[in-house]
Amino acid sequence: MNGNWVYILVAGFFEVLWVIGLKHSSNGWMWLGTIVAIFLSFAFLIRASKQLPLGTVYAVFTGIGTMGTVLIEILIFGEPFKWIKLLLILILLAGIVGLKVITKDMDTKGEAA
């Protein structure tokens, strides 16, 4: 895994934080943390998109965010667990892994390497 994929993972991590922050923030400090998470999430997303195809980057980013948010809501905030959710998360994860496997880095001219 090269650094560009790490940027997507970090961006997805911060996406989960800010999405949860939007729902659960209750004071100024929590809102400030949410705003910082939004900024960092998009900063890492933009960095990753410089060397990987934008469509792939965005699909993986939103997939990680969706998967992470659903899991955190179930594990920490008590959202009801349903087997169908787990199945759909596993399908989403398979899609993310598939995109990672078939995607090549781009050189500085934007062509596939």
Q: What is the pLDDT of residues 5-32, one digit of tens each?
A: 999 999 999 999 999 999 999 999 999 9
Using CA atoms, how far residue 28 sits from 35, 36, 37, in Å, is 10, 12, 14
Q: What is the pLDDT of residues 59-109, one digit of tens each?
A: 899 999 999 999 999 999 999 999 999 899 899 889 988 888 888 766 544
Q: Could you tell me which of 25, 18, 66, 21 has the C-alpha nearest to residue 42?
A: 18
pTM here is 0.80
The gap between the terminal CA atoms of the chain, to the nearest Å, is 15
In angstroms, the CA 113 to CA 108 distance is 9
